[in-house]
Amino acid sequence: MRFSVLSKGDSTSNALMQRIITYLQDFELIYDEAEPDIVISVGGDGTLLYAFHRYSSRLDKVAFVGVHTGHLGFYADWLPDEIEKLVIAIAKTPYQVVEYPLLEVIIRYRHGGKETKYLGLNESTVKSTVGTLVMDVEIRGEHFERFRGDGLCVSTPSGSTAYNKALGGAIIHPAIHAIQLAEMASINNRVFRTVGSPLILPAHHTLMLKPVYVHDFNVTIDHLNVMHRDVKSIQFRVADEKVRFARFRPFPFWKRVHDSFISGEG
């Protein structure tokens, strides 16, 4: 089996990464940064997001594991002092894999050119580069609303505990194949109207944003932020691709939610 380890870059994470590499090589696993079967990220959820995008071209072949050197994470849920246990589990046992849904984002441009396709593990956000964001929102090809406000956030179930939660979105269990649209400070008065509540769309329902006046936007995909010019539409749906996590012990999603947001004491 081939493995790769990515570190957040601080000295604690780097030292832990070195230990993991040495341990796994002692078990005769092969360090292969280019084509690993298993990817271990050491740091936080942000480090796992980085690892996900580093290996996004071979998601069907890779299983991810996250170790946290800071606070407990949703993707990074192994403690540094569980490393020996984790290494033995990786080396000795055929491991279980759980799959989580991803977000597909397709950006199309007004004057042709190749569309851009992204996969998001947490979410994609759309904001204006100047002033208020104005977007027509379409669901399954039907006009739904004209949004005016700071921005829109479309998240995955596993990303629902991140930016989406700060926007008042629901926490969605990753066994549910869905995407969630949440508003950022919509303008609502006698003239302008949006639904106000987060919307949850099932697989195969397409959400489309169409520019009204301005065609340049800041679009984020997880930690990546790219400005897109001359945009015709931005399309979101549950991706066909999935992300795979290696599972060595039960740590149910609702327990991770509890331990992260309510109390870490058990």
Binding region for ligand NAP (CB under 6 A): 44-46, 49, 70, 73-74, 76, 122-123, 158-159, 161-163, 166, 222-223
Residue of 45, 60, 216, 230 marked active site: 45
Cβ neighbours for 227, distance < 8 A, ≥ 6 positions apart: 129, 216, 217, 218, 219
To ligand NAP, the closest distance from the beta carbon of 140 in angstroms equals 26
Tell me the backbone φ, ψ of residue 91, rounded to 5 degrees. -75, -35
| Cβ count near 133 (within 10 Å) | 26
Here's the x/- map for Mn ion, 179-198, by CB under 5 A: it reads as: --------------------
Q: Residue 2 or 127: which CB sits closer to ligand NAP?
A: 127
Q: Is 192:173 a contact under the CB 8 Å cutoff?
A: no
To ligand NAP, the closest distance from the beta carbon of 47 in angstroms equals 7
Is 122 labelled as part of a ligand binding site? yes
End-to-end CA gap in the chain: 34
Is 43 labelled as part of a ligand binding site? no
Q: Is 141:125 a contact under the CB 8 Å cutoff?
A: no
Q: Residue 29 or 159: which CB sits closer to ligand NAP?
A: 159
Contact partner at residue 162 from ligand NAP, Mn ion, none, CB < 5 to 8 Å by partner kind: ligand NAP
To ligand NAP, the closest distance from the beta carbon of 213 in angstroms equals 26
Q: Residue 116 or 260: which CB sits closer to ligand NAP?
A: 260
Check binding of 46 to Mn ion (CB under 5 A).
yes
Q: Residue 73 or 149: which CB sits closer to ligand NAP?
A: 73
Nearest alpha carbon to residue 100 among 75, 78, 126, 82: 75
To ligand NAP, the closest distance from the beta carbon of 225 in angstroms equals 10
Contact partner at residue 80 from ligand NAP, Mn ion, none, CB < 5 to 8 Å by partner kind: none
Reduce the DSSP state of residue 17 to 3 states and report it: helix
Lookup: tokens for 2: 């081939």
Which of left, alpha, beta for 260 (phi over 0: left; psi -120 to 50: alpha)? Answer: alpha
CA distances from 131 to 181, 212, 213 (A): 21, 13, 12
Q: Residue 212 or 224: which CB sits closer to ligand NAP?
A: 224
Q: Is 123:164 a contact under the CB 8 Å cutoff?
A: yes
Q: Is 45 annotated as catalytic?
A: yes
| Cβ count near 216 (within 10 Å) | 13
212 HSE (CA, 13 A, CB side): 13
Query: Which range touches Mn ion (CB under 5 A), out of 10-18, 44-52, 77-85, 140-148?
Result: 44-52
| Residue list, annotated binding site | 45-46, 122-123, 148, 150, 185
Q: Could you give the residue numbers annotated as active site?
A: 45
Q: Residues within the annotated binding site for NAD(+)?
A: 45-46, 122-123, 148, 150, 185
